[in-house]
């Protein structure tokens, strides 16, 4: 007997809006409310409102909280200034990625780690285990303490400004500040995952519905629409952002995924010691000297859509040279796109003779640099 999916504080609201629901990482989540293409384009041109309450929040406190994070994660988190956030990863001792994370430093001795829903328990268990020896740090599971709403799109600053007196203009990218939004206490963050400007609002679950309604009303004239997981995926795909379980797995290192920049071998604490260091040093050397495969973008010349797991082949010979990790129609480009790992010799943008095997048909694709889409700032 399987456990019933968990429901967010906004579950009844989603159903009242007629959302198509789906089981995602053990949560019942809105997939779409109407047309996923319309939701996607609303975020690109106006604004979209998302429920991200399935994400996993873990709080670390104490004088050694920063040192514990330096040891547990690949980044130098003790150097993070209060009020700022950082994208990072947690790896195993082989350098394989357990999850990609955003870490917020809320105060000198308080950090919040935000994990993907599918990996939240894994991350919590790893941090708890790695806390042995750090008596001045405590790890707390705060997944039940937060609901998470996100307003994304070019109209999002104006919508949020109408509901808060917090200094949004002074809130930098990858930062967060406490504030009140529509009378609700919130951590207001600005990290974004859609390729557009946007804000994430961490609030108490009991305040989530009132805040959703207030945002909906404030965004009515700006064209704000509710958005589900489906367009969230196509938005991040266009923005070239990796997704755990697709581009990132325990069989890939940050260097394999072209994200070696998040690994900081020079750390403020622990004499530079951290889990996976030795394996990651080897991976860094491999990536610099002779990477076997690289992560690239592919744009279709035809209309057939690639999916994760489809082989990438050399046109003509049919030799397998890689594998699609994510693929979907791109509403912005008007063509199917994919992210794939391909042999290094085929990874340069403009490389000819690359195709995707879609059910036995070798469909031609153009190799491009990621991201597919970047907003004009």
Mean pLDDT, rounded, of the chain: 97
Euclidean distance between CA atoms 101 and 86, whole angstroms: 8
Structure tokens at 314: 């050399």
The tens digit of pLDDT for each residue in 211-231 reads: 999 999 999 999 999 999 999
Euclidean distance between CA atoms 239 and 194, whole angstroms: 6
The tens digit of pLDDT for each residue in 97-128 reads: 999 999 999 999 999 999 999 999 999 999 99
Do 151 and 222 fall within a single domain?
A: yes
The tens digit of pLDDT for each residue in 43-82 reads: 999 999 999 999 999 999 999 999 999 999 999 999 999 9
| Number of folded domains that form the chain | 3
Do 120 and 184 fall within a single domain?
A: no
DSSP H helices, the chain, are 11-16, 36-45, 65-72, 120-130, 156-161, 208-218, 229-238, 277-289
The tens digit of pLDDT for each residue in 257-297 reads: 999 999 999 999 999 999 999 999 999 999 999 889 999 99
For residue 67, give its domain range. Answer: 56-144+253-277
Do 29 and 158 fall within a single domain?
A: yes
Domain at 268, CATH number: 3.30.70.1400
Do 170 and 29 fall within a single domain?
A: yes
> Radius of gyration over alpha carbons of the chain, in Å?
21
Euclidean distance between CA atoms 137 and 63, whole angstroms: 6
Would you state the pLDDT for residue 118?
A: 96
Domain at 234, CATH number: 3.30.1360.120
Domain at 364, CATH number: 2.40.30.110
Do 92 and 221 fall within a single domain?
A: no
Do 224 and 346 fall within a single domain?
A: no
Is 1 contained in some domain? no
Would you state the pLDDT for residue 3?
A: 78
Do 45 and 152 fall within a single domain?
A: yes
Angle between helices 120-130 and 65-72 (to 10 degrees): 110
């Amino acid at each position: 007997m399987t456990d019933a999916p968990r429901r967010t504080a906004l579950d009844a609201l989603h159903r009242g809006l007629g959302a198509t629901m789906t089981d995602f990482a053990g949560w019942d989540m809105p997939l779409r409310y109407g047309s996923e293409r319309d939701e996607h384009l609303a975020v690109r041109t106006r604004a979209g409102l998302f429920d991200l309450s399935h994400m996993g929040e873990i709080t670390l406190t104490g004088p050694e909280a920063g040192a514990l994070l330096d040891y547990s994660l690949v980044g130098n988190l003790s150097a993070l200034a209060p009020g700022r956030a950082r994208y990072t990863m947690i790896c195993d001792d082989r350098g394989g990625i357990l999850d990609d994370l955003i870490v917020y430093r809320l105060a000198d001795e308080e950090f919040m780690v935000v994990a993907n829903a599918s990996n939240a328990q894994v991350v919590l268990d790893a941090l708890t285990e790695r806390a042995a020896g750090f008596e001045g740090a405590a790890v707390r599971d705060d997944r039940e303490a937060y609901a998470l709403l996100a307003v994304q799109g070019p109209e999002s600053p104006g919508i949020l400004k109408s509901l808060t007196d917090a200094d949004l203009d002074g809130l930098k990218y990858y930062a967060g500040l406490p504030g009140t939004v529509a009378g609700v206490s919130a951590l207001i963050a600005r990290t974004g995952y859609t390729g557009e400007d946007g804000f994430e609002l961490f609030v108490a679950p009991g305040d989530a519905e009132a805040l959703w309604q207030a945002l909906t009303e404030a965004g009515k004239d700006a064209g704000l629409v509710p958005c589900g997981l489906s367009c969230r995926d196509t938005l991040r795909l266009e923005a070239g952002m990796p997704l755990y379980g697709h581009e990132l797995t325990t069989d890939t290192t940050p260097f394999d995924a072209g994200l070696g920049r998040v690994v900081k071998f020079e750390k403020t604490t622990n004499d530079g010691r951290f889990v996976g260091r030795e394996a990651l040093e080897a991976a860094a050397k491999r990536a610099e000297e002779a990477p076997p495969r690289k992560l690239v973008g592919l744009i279709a010349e035809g209309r057939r859509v690639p999916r994760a797991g489809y082989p990438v082949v050399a046109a003509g010979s049919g030799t397998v040279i890689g594998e699609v990790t994510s693929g979907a129609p791109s509403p912005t480009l008007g063509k199917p796109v994919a992210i794939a790992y391909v042999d290094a010799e085929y990874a340069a943008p403009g490389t000819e003779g690359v195709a995707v095997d879609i059910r036995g048909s070798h469909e031609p694709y153009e190799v491009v640099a990621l991201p597919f889409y970047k907003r004009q700032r």
